[in-house]
Every structure is written in structure tokens, then in C-alpha cells.
């Protein structure tokens, strides 16, 4: 399968990328690792007339502490995030989830900004970002703006990005050694999750919970979060995990089974994050 013809533009700075987007209009697409975009181009689900390759922009590849947040360049590859000492110390959920994406070859190419922009409802890292909170920094014709992650994923492959914008940075709170967990249910080890649950204990004592593949977009488990904030037990809170979701039925699981998985995985993740040893598997994604 070969994509439809397109023109290719290589840029070496964010300003050049913004200028190229402005010049080529809505038929242009940003290319980073290409591991979400090229597959859908091969299937003709996307037929951009121009690709703007930002993978050579070295200023987009970093993980660093800024105040009480960790800032991650949008061009950071999953492999780099997985191995980042800063990320491991400051927000360990993220490098762990990065290590659960696809396979080594995929992690060598795929980028954090790419997976966020792609907005697949079954995507691992967006789920983790949603549990953590934080924001997406966009660059566009009118400069930079920051969108809370909770307002970024709008619907099925639909984000809050406006025409002419690209993602330049992701910002998440520093959680340090507070509890976290990622429970992912798949047929094969690191496939796309049939359902997954991410949990992060956040500064200020709140607990963030998010789910993958329980609707057209990654979701925050708001009923679970509210129940926990009211002091309900893990059991009680996790029982609410499927509330407000609209899971689909497909060859992997029907909607009812997905709802069951959401409750089960949320309970496991909350338990692991709380440091109470309920192991889902021999190598459960244990944490602090």
C-alpha cells in the first residue's frame, strides 16, 4: 500500500512549521514519527496534499522540570520518554505507559505529540495524560496557547487544535513518588488496549482516573474521581467506572464486557496505586 501523492516539506523550527502550515492550508498535515499518520494515509483515510516533516526540529525533543510541572517536547519519541530519568523520577506513570505502547520499533519512531494529535480512543499515552491533568501547548499563526488536557480530546479523532496549529509541548504535574498505575487489557501484550485504566495520585490529594476505548475518545472517569473525592472506598468508586461511557462492540469485546473491564481495571489500578498489593498479573504495573 502506497499513500496518495503529496508534496513534502522539511522544516527545522517551530516558526517554519507554523509558516508552512499557513502557506499550505488545511490540506497540509504535520508529519513527526509518522506511525499514526502514514498507516491512515496508506488506507486513504487521510489524503493530505502536503506533509510538513517536523521530525528534524531538535528543539521539540526534551523532558524537563519547569516549576511544579514536567514539560515534554511534542517531538519526544516514546522510546526517549520511556528512558527519561527526569520522567521516571518526576512523573513515573508516563514513562511506564510509554513502554506499553506497541513494540520497540514503534516506540523508536512514535512521538508524544503525534499520539495526542491523532486522538485515537484506544491510545495509551493520551489516557495517562488525561489521568494526570495538565495541558497541551499549541503553536499557531497567533502565537502560542495552552489548552487544558481535559478540553483537548473532543471526540472521535477530533481535538481542540485549530487550523494552522501544531502541538509543541505537553505539560503534566510533578507527581514524584505518589501512587500511580496503568492497567491495560489486551489480547497480545502491547496491542491497542481493549480497555485500559490509568490512575494517578495528584498533588493536593486528588486522584485522577482515565479510561481508554470506552467511547469515541479517551475519557476521564469523572464518577469514579468524584466518589473518591467524597471518601468512598476503592470498591465503591470503581463500580462507577462505566458511568457516562459509551463503549462500542467489536470483534474483541462487546459493550457490556467493556463496561465490566472498565470497572475491573479501574479497581485494580486504584488498588495498585494505593500501594495495596492486588496484583492483576505476575508483573502487575506496580507503583509507589
d(CA 216, CA 2): 28
Distance of closest approach, residue 85 Cβ to another protein, in angstroms = 15
Provide the pairing of β-strand 50-53 with 28-31.
parallel
User: Which residue in the set 61, 190, 248, 284 belongs to the binding site for another protein (CB under 8 A)?
Assistant: 190
Residue 200's DSSP bridge partners are 180, 208
Residue 144 touching another protein (CB under 8 A): no
| The three grid cell numbers given for residue 253, joined into one nine-digit string | 469485546
Distance of closest approach, residue 23 Cβ to another protein, in angstroms = 17
Distance of closest approach, residue 2 Cβ to another protein, in angstroms = 6
Cα R_g (the chain), whole angstroms: 19
Distance of closest approach, residue 22 Cβ to another protein, in angstroms = 20
> In terms of residues, how long is the chain?
288
Q: Pseudo-torsion of CA 164, 80, 115, 15, nearest 10°?
A: 0
d(CA 234, CA 209): 12
Site for another protein in 20-39 (CB under 8 A): 31, 34-35, 38-39
| The three grid cell numbers given for residue 136, joined into one nine-digit string | 497541551
Place of cell 472517569: 221
Distance of closest approach, residue 250 Cβ to another protein, in angstroms = 17
Closer to another protein at the Cβ: 101 or 138? 101
Site for another protein in 120-139 (CB under 8 A): none
Residue 8 touching another protein (CB under 8 A): yes
Closer to another protein at the Cβ: 102 or 244? 102
The count of chain residues that interact with another protein, using the rule CB under 8 A, is 29
Handedness of CA 104, 58, 76, 142 (dihedral sign): negative
Residue 186 touching another protein (CB under 8 A): no
Determine the interface stretch with another protein among 16-24, 97-105, 163-171, 267-275 (rule: CB under 8 A).
97-105
User: Which residue in the set 15, 23, 26, 103 belongs to the binding site for another protein (CB under 8 A)?
Assistant: 103
d(CA 259, CA 253): 10
Residue 67 touching another protein (CB under 8 A): no
Q: Are 198 and 269 in contact (CB under 8 A)?
A: yes
User: Which residue in the set 69, 89, 102, 215 belongs to the binding site for another protein (CB under 8 A)?
Assistant: 102
Place of cell 505507559: 97
Within 10 A of 50 (CB to CB), how many other CB atoms are there? 17
User: Which residue in the set 15, 23, 42, 249 belongs to the binding site for another protein (CB under 8 A)?
Assistant: 42
| Residues near another protein (CB under 8 A) | 1-8, 10, 31, 34-35, 38-39, 42, 51, 53, 55, 79, 102-106, 108-109, 188-190
Amino acid at each position: 500500500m502506497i499513500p496518495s501523492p503529496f508534496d513534502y516539506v522539511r522544516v527545522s523550527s517551530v516558526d517554519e512549521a507554523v509558516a508552512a502550515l499557513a502557506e499550505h492550508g488545511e490540506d497540509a498535515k504535520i508529519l513527526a514519527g509518522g506511525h499514526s499518520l502514514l498507516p491512515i494515509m496508506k488506507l486513504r483515510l487521510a489524503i493530505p496534499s502536503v506533509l510538513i516533516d517536523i521530525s528534524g526540529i531538535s528543539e521539540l525533543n526534551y523532558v524537563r522540570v519547569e516549576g511544579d510541572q514536567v514539560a515534554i517536547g511534542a517531538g519526544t519519541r516514546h522510546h526517549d520518554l520511556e528512558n527519561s530519568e527526569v520522567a521516571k523520577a518526576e512523573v513515573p506513570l508516563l514513562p511506564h505507559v510509554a513502554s506499553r505502547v506497541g513494540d520497540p520499533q514503534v516506540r523508536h519512531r512514535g512521538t508524544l505529540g503525534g499520539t495526542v494529535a491523532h486522538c485515537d480512543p484506544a491510545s495509551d499515552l493520551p489516557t495517562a495524560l488525561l489521568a494526570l491533568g495538565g495541558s497541551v501547548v499549541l503553536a499557531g499563526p497567533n502565537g502560542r496557547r495552552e489548552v487544558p488536557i481535559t478540553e483537548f480530546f473532543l471526540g472521535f479523532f477530533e481535538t481542540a487544535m485549530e487550523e494552522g496549529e501544531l502541538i509543541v509541548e505537553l505539560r503534566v504535574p510533578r507527581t514524584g513518588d505518589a501512587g500511580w498505575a496503568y492497567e491495560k487489557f489486551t489480547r497480545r501484550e502491547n496491542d491497542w488496549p481493549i480497555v485500559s485504566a490509568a490512575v494517578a495520585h495528584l498533588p493536593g490529594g486528588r486522584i485522577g482516573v482515565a479510561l481508554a476505548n470506552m467511547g469515541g475518545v479517551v475519557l476521564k472517569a469523572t464518577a469514579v474521581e468524584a466518589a473518591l473525592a467524597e471518601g468512598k472506598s476503592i470498591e465503591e468508586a470503581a463500580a462507577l467506572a462505566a458511568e457516562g461511557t459509551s463503549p462500542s462492540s467489536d470483534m474483541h469485546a462487546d459493550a457490556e464486557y467493556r463496561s465490566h473491564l472498565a470497572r475491573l481495571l479501574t479497581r485494580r489500578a486504584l488498588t495498585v496505586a494505593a500501594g495495596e498489593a492486588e496484583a492483576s498479573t505476575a508483573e502487575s504495573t506496580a507503583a509507589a
